[in-house]
Amino acid sequence: MASGESIWKVLVFVVIVTYVCYITEISNFYPDWNFATNLRPSFIDKIASVVRAEDSREEIEMTAASGELSNKERLELIYKELPEGREKSKRYFSLPLTTTWSGGGVGNQLFEVFALLGLSNSSHRTPLVFQKNGSVLGKMLARIRLHFPALIEQITLVSNPAILENTTDVALHRKGCCRYWPIDELLEKNTSAVVSGRGIYFQSHLYWIHIRPSLLKWMTPSEFAANETKYAFRERDLVEGQVLCVHARRGNFLHTRQAASEANFTQSATKYIIKKYLKKKPGPITVLLFSNDLSWMRETYSEIYRNKNDNESFVQVGNVLYILVDNLSAFNTLIVAKDYCDNFLITAAASTYAYMMSFLAKNGRAKVFYAEHFATPYNTLPRHFNPKEFHLPHWIPLRLLDNLDITQISRDEIQPWATTSRPTTKKANG
């Protein structure tokens, strides 16, 4: 019989292996969040310093409604404490907003906030967030509130933990990033003052689609944010006619399970949308190009930009004006999409930021297209990602054929990744 010490060593080994596998899975799925650092006491301070450094790089002096705002003054406005919400009812629903306090991207943050509001509405409870004064979560919510105040004003923010004494935990969102988990347990009668949902990401529109009109209304930018965007979007006066916005995601998507934007699809889909939808109407067309890798975007559209210097962002081809959009913060870019994008092309299907741009485009009235493939070949992402539960039902999936033509497909036809040979049985529409 094995000694007690041997059994103990085996148990410790199993726990360590399980923990490493779990961290690897989470890190592969969400590369912006280093799960391991969550265990270190300095984690919160490091995230806060990253946020401040990011803002310091992004901020420029600008004229806002209240007059001249310097970098320092604007940072003070972002990081001021949020006012604590008044008690609106005796029944609350709360989510941990993990991607928000861990420094996740804006797209990830908005998905969790939308889920909080949608689930609160479904359960007839008041949305609640517990945040300590000066915490990273509070500061991240303050950044959102600075640009979209009505969204955060729907949430009761508390710093007194006493309200959490009578709390019931409910396990939600167990299937991964982008799968819907039934909320029957949440909807059951519960005497607890607070129901707290456990989960992360909540990247399915099924949690909030029933309040979509309200979300669009609450995402109206503040006067400050509108003026900030107007000042930062230098090419705004060049935009005219029908507008197609194209978003490309590269960066860490090149090393994760999500499929990054691909040049052939991006080129072909842009031409397809212009020919099939935009050129049927007379007048000028503007194509706004957004990416976290503008050098790649310029190379992808090299046929258009081949005779332009690197500092030239726009080029006219017939009645179509192409503009590489630069120098905008993440929030400014969302507002540009809301104001200008009549049509939207998502070239990295799993990009949450492109998703939120598309959701807001023309205040929810834009025609939205997205790439069929959302994963790199032969990985586990399809277990966690269902396009029907992620993309809105009226958005249009596009498939790239072997001859580089584009065809529209149904959501039932979507394949997670490209096979060795692309389908050629369908003719491209238009």
Tens-of-pLDDT digits for all 430 residues of the chain?
455 566 655 555 555 544 444 433 433 333 333 322 232 333 333 333 333 333 333 332 232 333 344 444 444 444 444 454 444 457 899 998 988 877 789 999 999 999 999 999 999 999 999 887 667 888 889 999 999 999 999 999 888 767 667 788 888 888 888 889 888 878 875 778 899 998 889 999 999 999 999 999 999 999 999 999 999 999 999 999 999 999 999 988 888 899 999 999 999 999 999 999 999 999 999 999 999 999 999 999 998 988 777 778 899 999 999 999 998 999 999 999 999 999 999 999 999 999 999 999 999 999 999 999 999 998 889 988 999 999 999 999 999 999 999 999 999 999 999 764 444 444 333 3
In a domain, 16, yes or no: yes
**Could you tell me if 359 and 274 lie in one domain?**
yes
**Could you tell me if 372 and 304 lie in one domain?**
yes
The two structure tokens encoding residue 117: 């509001």
**Could you tell me if 249 and 213 lie in one domain?**
no
Rounded to whole angstroms, what are the CA distances from 148 to 115, 216, 218, 330, 363?
16, 10, 7, 13, 14
The pLDDT value recorded for residue 200 is: 87
Nearby residues of 116 by Cβ (< 8 Å), 6 or more positions away: 93, 94, 95, 97, 127, 129, 155
Domain CATH code at residue 354: 3.40.50
Print burial letters for 130-169: b (CB count within 10 Å at least 16), e (below 16): bbeeebbbbbbbbbbbbbbbebbebbbbbeeeebeeebee
**Could you tell me if 24 and 95 lie in one domain?**
no
**Could you tell me if 312 and 399 lie in one domain?**
yes
**Could you tell me if 395 and 294 lie in one domain?**
yes
Domain span at residue 133 reads 81-218
User: In the listed set 169, 189, 218, which residue is the last one of a domain according to the structure?
Assistant: 218
Considering only CA atoms, give the Rg of the chain. 23
Cβ of 308: how many Cβ atoms within 10 Å? 15
**Could you tell me if 262 and 385 lie in one domain?**
yes
**Could you tell me if 241 and 374 lie in one domain?**
yes
In a domain, 158, yes or no: yes
In a domain, 5, yes or no: no
**Could you tell me if 190 and 286 lie in one domain?**
no
Nearest one of 297, 296, 315, 318 to 307, comparing CA atoms:
315
Give the total number of structural domains in the chain. 3
In a domain, 372, yes or no: yes
**Could you tell me if 139 and 246 lie in one domain?**
no
In a domain, 54, yes or no: no
Nearby residues of 379 by Cβ (< 8 Å), 6 or more positions away: 257
The pLDDT value recorded for residue 122 is: 92
The pLDDT value recorded for residue 116 is: 96
In a domain, 63, yes or no: no
**Could you tell me if 206 and 279 lie in one domain?**
no
Nearest one of 34, 58, 57, 56 to 46, comparing CA atoms:
34
In a domain, 167, yes or no: yes
**Could you tell me if 201 and 315 lie in one domain?**
no
In a domain, 95, yes or no: yes
